[in-house]
Structure 1
Amino acid sequence: MSTQLDIPVIPDDIAKAAVLPTSYKDESYLEAYAWLRANMPFGRADIEGYDPIWLVTKHADIMEVERNADLFHNGDLNNILQNKASDEFQTMLAGGTIRVLDSLTYMDAPEHTAVRGITKDWFMPARIRPYEDAMRGHAQEAVERLLSFDGALDFTREFALHYPLRVIMSLFGVPKEDEPLMLQLTQDFFGTQDPDEQEAAGLAMDPTAAAQQWKTAIDGFHDYFTALSDERRRKPTGDLLSLIANSTLDGEPLAQNIQNGYYVAIAAAGHDTTSASIAGGLLGMMRFPEAWNAVKADDKLIPGLVDESIRYTSPVKHFMRNTTQATEFRGQRLESMERLMLLYGSGNRDEDLFERPDEFDPSRRPNRHIGFGYGPHMCIGQHIAKLEMRILWQEMLPKVASFELTGDPTWLQTNFVGGLKTLPVRYNAA
């Protein structure tokens, strides 16, 4: 740990507002982010029950950590911030390791490089372009479903959750009738910090229950995809799941635990983050109607709408990194194995890079958001997410004249991945 006497320790109320999941049930954490950027852009949070952590709040600093992946690892300790009790219980559940999932997010080079290389080319724009027509068909079905609600709906629960799920599962080759199971497992996976999700799962709101729920969701994904990947090895069908199931690493068939890590990461994060960005983008346009009017008038702004939705919403709130050796960062001496919390939502509101950062502006140019991360750990599925969002807005905007809020939106209580939990709206068909 740092031993210098002038460590910038963040005031307790600010630290809790930026770190604890309870602050994310509304948008109060954004005020803490703004305070930190202005007063203590790189400070240490000492919160009872948690390891000491350094909060990285500036866009340039987050990018520096991300690009220096040898100095700042993400797999030595838990790359998702939990309290000590949750980490200890999770380690016990996983047989002595904090790595409960063999996915890219838990890996560092050279393992990360090798495993990412299995699907890297498949996710490139030229390779996913042939799927555009199918995505457009899914988007058209989604818009028809939207218009069937006769003017009012919960945009998150009844619309935004479903289209990205259909896209990802069709790329995977998951049967449509299994999508409700995939959605439930995803909500269990990302809802461990939210009391409503805990109650729905029949669990008490405590660290061990949250860790157990998370492990149970992972096991549910594993059980499902292990059986499906066995089928794809016997009879490949050309989908993404067939690619992973039949891949090799160092000349050997890809281990099932690595396959499962891919399946869980893509099946869960691959649609949940996109759903959050779609709903968050609509909320941004309802708050700033000039944005809606501008995009309605000029569909060339739709790519900008997609990027602004991701920046404004920042569905991935954080990932953790740890130092691999003693170093200096932003004038602070750090010892080996100190923990850093990268606050992407803060970087995406950084006044040094974004004018009027709290406004929603689809015409923002340039928009160098870090909603997909940066460096070697940058989201592998970013091109799919942007393509399916662009297609959805292309299909929706001509058919809907306006949206308006009919109640207060609510957010998932999580400091990891999430967005709007409910978004009650009324719409007028074009």
Structure 2
Amino acid sequence: MPIVDEAANVLADPTAYADEARLHAALTTLRANRPVARVDVPGYQPFWAITKHADVLAVEKANRQFTNWPRPVLMTAESDEMQAAIGIRTLIHMDDPQHRVVRAIAADWFAPKAMRAMAIRIEELAKRYVDRMRDTGGRCDFVAEIAVNFPLYVIMSLLGVPESDFPLMLKLTQELMGSDDDELKRSAPPDESMNALVEMFTYFTALTASRRANPTDDLASMIANATVDGEPLSEVDTVSYYAIIATAGHDTTSSSISGGLRALIEHPEQLDLLRRNPELMPGAVEEIIRWVTPVKAFMRTAAQDSVVNGVPIPAGDSLLLSYASANRDEEAFDDPFRFDIERVPNKHVAFGYGVHFCLGAGLARMEIAKFLGELLPRLTSIELAGPPELTATTFVGGLKHLPITFTID
């Protein structure tokens, strides 16, 4: 079926994620006709695309049968080799029992008690950035001027990165997550595509040395001085830990905030409903996260011969879990292409599932809720001032431009 083959190949095309109509047409075709599809395109190692919600959950649950190591993210074959040469090992590269032990190092910093302690600070930051939005004079690129900065400030403050280094961290995280986007990536030559990662590693290596010599009361010190079985984390594991928190704690949330605001603008009845009923905010946050799905996919590797939805998967083969598809699955959600802040139930997989469920999910939910909770009561009008633009990606992404006009009290 040439049409189905073409639809499957879309999953390895970063530009497809910048074209929502094209992407979701392809994913709908796959769910209906070939929910477990073999993808073999030039430049990438082959993989199986898993597009049904139930199948994504089944693979996530079977974390010993389907492992994160060695290929947790879809990248070109060349990038796979370069990242392996660098030796990066973040939480998303690890499997149990190592994953469970290393994840526990930072777990308390993202637990409900810690989130309650951070709530006041996040409210203060939300007010600061809504004020900054007001001060633009009623017109701005919401992504570039507001959405990327608010969660960056939160996560970098948590880590203990000096505010003077925030612009560098923004630049590096955007280059890492935007490496497939012509506007955001550092440079065109493939042999330079890892430069942002190397620069981030260099920065965090210095931070590790500083926190080991002079510990402070921040997450960076906790990671730098952590031990596993009585031994400190290796330099690579320590720096990898910083890198995943810095990137995952920033780009995903900024994409959700900007994508959520766009959804509310494009569905004014939902915006009006939320403004009149602020108690609907928790459900609105979940629907925003489902709608945006900032993490488009994760990869798994079959540790043994397996079967997914009747399709044999040989040991050693890779699987791509399409969260973007699962969160629009007609069998999992009523009218999945309707943005509905009152959707119940809303069992989206945007944070993953099982042992690798997103460590920072509570923080992301709080940031989205606090920002909208500050903005909406002060907002008297808002509309698009130009076409929204999405990032080309196969991993994490969302809007890169959202021009808007508005009035804020």
1:291-370 map, 5 Å:
291-370=270-349
Q: Deviations over 1:289-313 (max 9, x none)?
A: 1110011001111111211111000
Cα distance change of structure 1 residues 351 and 274 upon mapping to structure 2, 3 Å threshold: same
What's the CA shift for 1:288? Answer: 1.1
**Counterpart-to-counterpart distance in 1, 2:36 and 2:155:** 37
Bigger mean CA offset, 344-353 vs 234-243: 234-243
Cα distance change of structure 1 residues 248 and 10 upon mapping to structure 2, 3 Å threshold: farther
Alignment pair present for 1:15 and 2:11: no
2:45 to 31, 42, 51: 51
**Counterpart-to-counterpart distance in 2, 1:118 and 1:370:** 24
What's the CA shift for 1:89? Answer: 4.6
1:185 to 172, 180, 188: 172
Give the secondary-structure state (helix, strand or coil) at the position aligned to 1:259: helix
Query: Residue 10 of structure 1 contacts residue 43 of structure 1 at CA under 8 Å; is this kept in 2?
Result: no
Equivalent residue, structure 1, for 2:385: 406
Equivalent residue, structure 2, for 1:248: 227
User: Which residue identity does 1:167 align to in structure 2?
Assistant: V
Give the secondary-structure state (helix, strand or coil) at the position aligned to 1:44: strand
**Counterpart-to-counterpart distance in 2, 1:390 and 1:227:** 34
Q: Deviations over 1:173-228 (max 9, x none)?
A: 11111100000000111111111223xx3x22x5x24xx32x22222222222222
What's the CA shift for 1:255? Answer: 2.0
**Counterpart-to-counterpart distance in 2, 1:247 and 1:65:** 31
Alignment pair present for 1:73 and 2:67: yes
Equivalent residue, structure 2, for 1:168: 155
Aligned-pair Cα RMSD in Å: 1.6
Structure 2: where are the runs of 5+ without partners? none
What's the CA shift for 1:9? Answer: 8.8
Q: Deviations over 1:317-374 (max 9, x none)?
A: 1111110111222111221011110000111111112112112111111211111100
1:236 to 209, 212, 215: 215
Give the secondary-structure state (helix, strand or coil) at the position aligned to 1:108: coil
Query: Residue 8 of structure 2 contacts residue 30 of structure 2 at CA under 8 Å; is this kept in 1?
Result: no
**Counterpart-to-counterpart distance in 1, 2:263 and 2:167:** 28
Alignment pair present for 1:104 and 2:91: yes
**Counterpart-to-counterpart distance in 2, 1:51 and 1:181:** 32
User: Which residue identity does 2:126 align to in structure 1?
Assistant: A
What's the CA shift for 1:127? Answer: 2.2
Structure 1: where are the runs of 5+ without partners? 1-7, 95-99
2:146 to 154, 159, 165: 159
**Counterpart-to-counterpart distance in 2, 1:228 and 1:339:** 35
**Counterpart-to-counterpart distance in 1, 2:23 and 2:158:** 35
Give the TM-score normalised by structure 1. 0.91
1:26 to 19, 26, 39: 19
Alignment pair present for 1:197 and 2:184: yes
Query: Residue 317 of structure 1 contacts residue 416 of structure 1 at CA under 8 Å; is this kept in 2?
Result: yes
Cα distance change of structure 1 residues 228 and 46 upon mapping to structure 2, 3 Å threshold: closer
**Counterpart-to-counterpart distance in 2, 1:89 and 1:178:** 27
2:373 to 389, 394, 402: 394
Give the secondary-structure state (helix, strand or coil) at the position aligned to 1:321: strand
User: Which residue identity does 1:341 align to in structure 2?
Assistant: L
**Counterpart-to-counterpart distance in 2, 1:163 and 1:409:** 20
What's the CA shift for 1:121? Answer: 2.6
Give the fraction of aligned pairs with identical amino acids, expressed as a percent.
42
Equivalent residue, structure 1, for 2:108: 121
User: Which residue identity does 1:268 align to in structure 2?
Assistant: T
**Counterpart-to-counterpart distance in 2, 1:48 and 1:256:** 35
Cα distance change of structure 1 residues 369 and 378 upon mapping to structure 2, 3 Å threshold: same
**Counterpart-to-counterpart distance in 1, 2:123 and 2:202:** 31
1:411-430 map, 5 Å:
411-430=390-409
**Counterpart-to-counterpart distance in 1, 2:19 and 2:335:** 21
What's the CA shift for 1:230? Answer: 2.3
User: Which residue identity does 2:281 align to in structure 1?
Assistant: I
2:253 to 259, 264, 274: 274
Alignment pair present for 1:136 and 2:123: yes
Give the TM-score normalised by structure 2. 0.96
What's the CA shift for 1:86? Answer: 3.4
1:380 to 351, 354, 359: 359
**Counterpart-to-counterpart distance in 2, 1:254 and 1:327:** 34
Cα distance change of structure 1 residues 116 and 102 upon mapping to structure 2, 3 Å threshold: same
